[in-house]
Structure 1
Amino acid sequence: VIIAGGLPPRDAITRLKQANGKVICFAVTANMAYNLIRQGVDALIVEGHEAGGHVGPVATSVLAQEIIPAAGEVPVFVAGGIGSGRMMLQYLLMGASGIQMGTRFATAAESPAHPRFKEALIKASAKDALTTAQFDPRIPVIPVRAIVNESTRDFNTLQLGLVAQLERDSITPREAGMKLEEFWIGGLRKAAIEGDVETGSIMAGQSVGLVKSVLTIREILDEFMTEAETEADRIVKILAG
């Protein structure tokens, strides 16, 4: 069972493990990771700010340095901004059990994403994948990283309207937050499945600039392994003097 979107409800991990489940949780801060380890999580996915979709506040490289040494026997998988075998190797050398990638595999030939969605990712650069802003601290907004398009402006307009409703006491902060989440859920489907890359949400990580073409999953994995092996040889030569 993989749990994302914050800390799981109280006793959720214990109950899942009692049912013979294996539990993997996302962690976007060190404190969240430590909390999950104390609760008995079987593995962690450490996701940094460079990732696509909903993101946390801390860079992937910093999270990895904080969490991997403190995780003990708990396997740690690193996610966010990974777009090459060289970077994959660096995290493995730090002690990670593996990595997770979303943006790269979203463009794979086997991916069910719409061809126009894949094309938008291939054309984008890292600077195009920006996170959303929070206009009012009363509205619980989790930043979302996506390629800037009309949906980005629509989100800002929606948020401003919700702030105005808050001022009139015609909506609660929780209700406002839910409306924002509904916006992103529908927006992602519109772009990734229906192919509307103008008004849909093109969620992608900053590694999107490293995606140059549609490849099969096997080709992506082969490319990563070749890059990792080349990087490993380079590091060995440096250490050998």
Structure 2
Amino acid sequence: MRRGIYLLEEVEFHPMNSRRPLEYLRWLTEYKREDDRLEAGAHGLTAGMSIRSREIDLVGAFYAVGITGHPQFKVVTLWDCHGGWDGGWRQMLEIYDDVQKNLFLSDIDDLRHGAFSRPLGAAPGSPAVADLLAEGYAAPLYLFESAQVRPGAALDYLDAVREERAPILADHGHRLVGSYEVQFCDTEAVTLWGTDIDAHLGLQRARDAALGLDDEAEPDHRLVGWRKQARRFLDGPWRETLLSPYPGSKLAPAP
């Protein structure tokens, strides 16, 4: 079985105009629904729409919950490169072979302020998003983690997440959706978890209680223990933020 390859993109919108993220999410999800009707392997670069392909699959489109630490406003997208390196990833690279003028034409010109992409390789034991979608899984809220690790320690960290942290978070209503080594660098790992508001709040209170900061909730000392364990691998910033799935995207609950 070949490794799953994904792309995670963070898109920011300035000045602070709340309609721009909505316009972008609506545009993106609508045109990718059209791509789902393409034949397997069919792809091409078109003016205004960038690359059209069903193998470059928009599996998640999220509005970032700004109060949890994101810049306002931000959209996060997760793309599944069907077929891995030789599939959707190759198709994305091919648009840069003989740079054509339609590469620079887009229906969303002047809508985005900036974007940052992370190519992701699935870690051993990471769920395949395609399997989750086939199962019908979707969550009303997602937890997005970016961790800077010691050089070369990304897979070790993610193995510890799978073995030690995932069972703890599962007890608090969080399901591991993806566990990824960021490609073309050796210092970053990304995880994505499905959850809901009640589970998110319960997790925060259980940790507070374990720290002696909430005497009205049941403490879970494993949460504090995990953070100490995680520091064996970390070598810089670690951050978790929340994402709300845009209605109509594949990882969003059905309306």
Per the normalisation by structure 2, the TM-score is 0.25
Higher helix fraction (1 or 2) = 1
Per the normalisation by structure 1, the TM-score is 0.26
RCO comparison, higher one (Cα < 8 Å, 6+)? 2
Higher strand fraction (1 or 2) = 2
